[in-house]
Amino acid sequence: MNLDQNNLRAALRELRYPGTDLTLEAGEIIDDLRVKNDDVLIRFQWPTPFPASHQSVKEAVERKLREIGVNRTHFQEQVEIPAHPRQSEKSLLPGVKNIIAVASGKGGVGKSTISANLALSLARAGASVGLMDADVYGPSMGLMLGASGRPTMADEKTLIPIDAQGIRLMSMAFLAGDDTPVIWRGPMVHGLIQQFLANVAWGDLDYLVIDLPPGTGDAQLTLTQLAPLSGSVIVTTPQEVSLIDARKGLRMFQQVKVPVLGVVENMSYFIDPGSGNRTEIFGHGGGRRTADELSIPFLGEVPIDPEVARGGDDGMPIVRRNPESPAARAIATIAEKVSAQLAELAIQSRGAAALHLDWDDN
Ligand SMILES: Nc1ncnc2c1ncn2[C@@H]1O[C@H](COP(=O)(O)OP(=O)(O)O)[C@@H](O)[C@H]1O
Ligand SMILES: [Mg+2]
């Protein structure tokens, strides 16, 4: 076969980026493609940071090209996380490409644990990540990531986030001291969050994860309106009450038109370390059922594992402490899915914006 741009691109037309409906073409993931004699050079622009996704695309591309007789492919690659369009609309955080809110209907379901491990998974994959502990009632991120101290000031009113395991972290705990119970009234919560958005030098970030206060009341609603959120993750446990709360969370985000990236079922089951048997303490599958009922994605289930709790207490989250454990792998997979969905949203709206421009031209 005569190899030219067109038949090479045709051969790759069907391939999609893992975790998305984006074709490599539509997603602008193939940044450049060249043919020189028998050699094909492809330059990829990866929209998520996870090497496993990149690897599976490279393998699929090689397979497809081999089918049409190309045996010599060369790859160049770079990661370029696309920015959510909301970020340019509102200039509150112009350097932050994607903002992810982690919410739960009630406390104690593992919202902070998931936030910390999600942020760390993204950072470990090479993304630049910030974490805003917006749970002013029970700030726990300093403890979970083993960070303490007082943030320094960039200028009179701008706080510099603390570096915690490669993540830029800001928490009420750094300002009030770990032992001070913080009793904030509604308007003050509002003010504080605004300050965390406007007066913290977040800099350039691929992802900013926000650990919201538990619940779906006014404070949470205000927060979701203040920050230009790209998407949200709802954490729940398998119990019925918790699932009802998850539904409320979903309604809250729908009200403010923030896409729900999906539901995480935490403390889903227990694996007995001796026998390896799996016990479903609260029954399981409720998270998936709720997600299906509400037509939102199910991101995964995280088992109960004492090591997860220990990791939270000693500042070494499970994805670092024991990355191969089932709980860590579950959270890493969730992080991959979240980044894939955010990339899809960003790239699709890029297309929509272009379409919009075309219309305006005519
Ligand atoms: N998958 C899990 N396995 C074991 N313990 C967990 C798990 N997820 C969370 N925990 C523990 O449960 C408690 C509550 O979790 P936390 O993340 O603080 O919840 P929230 O932020 O929703 O209040 C913490 O002690 C935490 O270490
Ligand atoms: Mg918490």
On the 0-12 / 13-18 / 19+ scale of CB atoms within 10 A, 226 is middle
Which residues in 86-197 belong to E strands, given as ranges?
Answer: 96-104, 129-133, 162-164, 167-171
Residues 26-41: tens digit of each pLDDT:
889 999 999 988 899 9
Counting ligands in written order, the one closest to the CA of 326 is: 1
331 lines ligand 1 (CB under 6 A): no
Asked if 287 and 264 count as a contact pair (C-beta separation under 8 A), the reply is yes
Answer whether 98 contacts ligand 1 (Cβ < 6 A): no
Coil vs helix vs strand at 124: helix
Determine contact, residues 60/18, Cβ cutoff 8 Å. Answer: no
Instruction: Tell whether ligand 1 has an atom less than 6 A from the beta carbon of residue 113.
Output: yes
Helices 240-255 and 218-226: crossing angle in degrees, nearest 10, is 40
Winning range, highest mean pLDDT, from 193-207, 226-240, 288-302, 315-329: 315-329
Look up residue 301 and give its two tokens.
């289930």
| Ligand 1 proximity of 309 Cβ (cutoff 6 Å) | yes
Residues above pLDDT 70, as percent of the chain: 90
Q: Of all protein residues, whose CA lies closest to atom 3 belonging to ligand 1?
A: 304
**Of the candidates 106, 50, 9, which has an alpha carbon nearest to the alpha carbon of residue 337?**
50
β-sheet bridge partners, residue 33? 42
228 is written with which tokens? 């230009």
Which of 113, 245, 308 for a ligand 1 pocket mutation test, highest count of atoms within 8 Å of Cβ?
A: 113
Q: What is the C-alpha to C-alpha distance for residues 108 and 189, in angstroms, rounded to an integer?
A: 20
Task: Dump pLDDT digits (tens) for 112-162.
Answer: 999 999 999 999 999 999 999 988 778 899 999 999 888 888 888 888 999
Whole-angstrom Cα distance, residue 249 to residue 112? 16
Give yes or no for residue 329 having a pLDDT over 50: yes
Examine the pLDDT at 185 and tell me if it is beyond 50: no
CB 59 within 8 A of CB 42: no
What type of residue is 90? K
Ligand 2 centre to CA of 212 (Å) is 8
In DSSP terms, 294 is beta-bridged to none
| Confidence at 209, pLDDT banded by 50, 70, 90 | very high
Task: Give tens-digit pLDDT for 33-68.
Answer: 999 888 999 999 999 999 999 999 999 999 999 999
Residue nearest (by alpha carbon) to ligand 1 atom 17: 110
What pLDDT does residue 352 have? 65
Strand 298-304 vs strand 260-271: parallel, antiparallel, or unpaired? parallel
Q: Distance between CA 46 and CA 58 in Å, rounded?
A: 11
Query: Which residue did the predictor score with more confidence, 153 or 329?
Result: 329
How far does residue 116's CA lie from ligand 2's centre (Å)? 10
Q: How far apart are the first and last CA of the chain?
A: 41
Rounded mean pLDDT, 70-96:
84
In this prediction, residue 361 carries a pLDDT of 42
pTM above 0.85, yes or no: yes
81-95, 290-304, 322-336: segment of lowest average pLDDT = 81-95
All structural domains of the chain, each given as residue ranges with its CATH number in brackets, are 5-79 (3.30.300.130), 86-335 (3.40.50.300)
Residue 180 has pLDDT above 70, yes or no: no
C-alpha of 337 from chain center? 8
Distance between CA atoms of residues 207 and 204, nearest Å: 9
* CA-closest residue to ligand 1 atom 6: 309
The Cα-based distances of 29 to 23, 61, 122 in angstroms read 8, 12, 19
Asked if pLDDT for residue 213 goes beyond 50, the answer is yes
Q: If we measure between CA atoms, which residue out of 144, 106, 114, 140 comes closest to residue 267?
A: 114
Q: Is 264 in the pocket of ligand 1 (CB under 6 A)?
A: no
Nearest protein CA to atom 5 of ligand 1, as residue: 309
